[in-house]
Structure 1
């Protein structure tokens, strides 16, 4: 009597995604989640074998609501579900406290968006940033305001989040170094909808540039209220406001008067950029927003590290993340000993005709 050998069952490797799937930044959270899902679809189509085992990747996505307390809770939930890596979070203020949970559990966390430098200063060996940090973006926007926009007087507003305050502090510091006058420094929250009192004080100082440290939903409201009050300054900011959603939510009131920095080179300038955009659209029926390519790249880099080490265990494959170089849709990826992307590119965009158009990259 003949025996049939049963086919080896695929080993399921769970990949976590964490971000704001509800609330004012839900568009960004959903975009990031789709980036991870697209990478997982492609990995599964490749039928990978890691360490002699056929593997199947599975997405476990959680909503952190853009809230630090919720973020810590969902981080623990992902750890308890046995994820091999977490691609996230989106907000720096959520990534920073969640990082400790992952690091203590020896689970790799790789964010494609959180830009506050404090995240990698924690010195956690399981934490990586496939994004440009605020020191680069805030500094670049100050230089741009001075050298290209020829501003002399700037006002600075931040939303008091880890991200918003961090990028605004760097902008203000660099602006002063560039010889600009910081004529006002104001504060709001990441839930603010009324900026009239702040803007009335700013208007009296007559700035040519208003820097906003925060996210696009609030920035769009700020833009409309700047217009209502007759403030003719340009609005500038970091990657938090650098979303196609900004134009829609602000009714395009600052067309040609809004500038923002974003990590990475413009998607369409990358060899795989246009095919990625088309694949994304056909898969989800939605356009790429901002950081889907980075979250997609982060997922593939993690899988590549697993292949290079023949292991899906973070304790093993994290060593490759520290030591090796990777190719990605974003370009070459190598991490420094703090988990930061070495030579992370940054691009400045201008809102023009409702679209964010690259005006400088390096």
Structure 2
């Protein structure tokens, strides 16, 4: 504190105590977050935003020390609507706001164009959920991801269709997004390599609600498996319409449909139909207890269950700050080398990045649905 003296009209000295400027200015570090907080995938976007906010709250409960100073972590949140054009605008706003790192974006179609802006401004970005291989194949040393990519997901799902579901014929539908088309292509490549025959390839959009046209075309081929490359917002209604059309095919998809929200979106259409999906991540036995604790804390904090990628967003924030602490600086140029060689053990397990920014030893988890609940079929590497 310091004091200021004022002489009043009555020649009395008035002493006023004021805070020292050094104490008034708290050191902060801004981390950006971007995802679809509105639109059809808002449930998924809000899930990861909550995971990121939970990490920030946990950090600020015991402020991190970076370069010998305590810092308050501030989360700058932006809604990209899952739209590529909006994502680039959001990315520029985060850059202009002075963020030192970014968690997001959610879907590959938004992440890939935004990543160029972060790279041009030397700001590290960790996507907790983008799976299109192109994201980390652009040569950007600022791009990282915490999940398996579509090549790994599609390969496992394609083999599973043939080897475990005995599929001889498959039909493929995708939503024409970078994510949906990418994972559908990888599934088809793997399924055909394993011996299955493609009997139909159809397309829709990530805004569609009526799939009867494409499903009627597929129904005529009577495939053993229908694979959908897209999100649960379309996957659920698609399952309902398959039921209405009397289709008997098994249904498969990637992490976009592999959510705790699919049962409510599909309703009774999940009854009696085998549905297999894969989540681009997986918790090994060593980290099961930590994940369960996270889910309990998340439910207590927000009153809702984890949808899918909140724990990954949580770890993404922690990994950025951990690299800053090791570097002794929140400046990207100084902490980026530490981020590239990170070895962090968090909620989702052990994180190490390869030279492209992909996760080393990435895991994925296969799931099915029974009695309205998602059930694990096991973690795979």
Give your verdict on TM over 0.5: yes
- Corresponding residue of 2:373: 355
What is residue 217 of structure 2 aligned with on the other side? 201
Distance 1:287 1:155 in 2: 33
> Partners of 2:143 and 2:110 in 1: how far apart?
13
User: Could you say what secondary structure the match of 1:201 adopts?
Assistant: helix
2:380 matches 1:344: no
Alpha-carbon shift at residue 51 of structure 1 (Å):
0.2
Which 5+ residue runs of structure 2 have no aligned equivalent?
4-18
Deviation per CA, 1:295-322: give whole Å up to 9, x if none. 0011111111111111111111111111
* Aligned residue in 2 for 1:40: 56
Please state whether the residue corresponding to 1:312 is helix, strand or coil. Answer: coil
In 2, the alpha carbon distance for the partners of 1:146 and 1:254 equals 21
State the alpha-carbon separation in 1 of the partners of residues 378 and 196 from structure 2: 21
Match of 2:349 in 1: 331
* Aligned positions of 1:203-222 closer than 5 A: 203-222=219-238
Report the Cα offset of residue 267 of structure 1. Answer: 8.8
Structure 1 residue 209, shift from structure 2 partner: 0.7
**Pairing partner for 2:302 from 263, 271, 284:** 284
Partner Cα distance (2:208, 2:182) in 1: 18
Does 2:92 correspond to 1:76?
A: yes
Question: Could you tell me how far 1:8 is from its partner in structure 2?
Answer: 7.5
Q: 1:121 to 1:354 in 2, by over 3 A?
A: same
Equivalent-residue separation in structure 1 for 2:328 and 2:345 (angstroms): 18
Q: Could you state the TM-score of these two structures normalised by the residue count of structure 1?
A: 0.97
Query: Quick one: distance in 2 between partners of 1:323 and 1:250?
Result: 42
Aligned to 1:90: 106
Gaps of 5+ in 1: none
In the alignment, the residues of structure 2 paired with residue 302 and residue 146 of structure 1 have an alpha-carbon distance, to the nearest angstrom, of 40
Contact 1:267 1:274 in 2 (8 A): no
Report what 2:242 is aligned to: 226
Q: CA deviation at 1:93?
A: 0.4
Greater alpha carbon shift after TM alignment, 164-173 vs 318-327? 318-327
Aligned mates of 2:145, 2:135 — CA distance in 1: 8
Aligned to 2:278: 261
- Of 54, 72, 80, which aligns to 1:56? 72
1:266 CA drift (Å): 4.7
Q: Find the aligned partners of 1:225 and 1:23 in 2 and give their Cα distance.
A: 22
Normalised to the residue count of structure 2, the TM-score between the two structures is: 0.92
1:151-191 CA distances to partner (integer Å, 9 max, x unpaired)?
Answer: 11110001000000000000011110000011111111111
Aligned residues: 361
Contact persistence 2:229–2:254 (CA under 8 A): yes
Is 2:312 the counterpart of 1:294?
Answer: yes
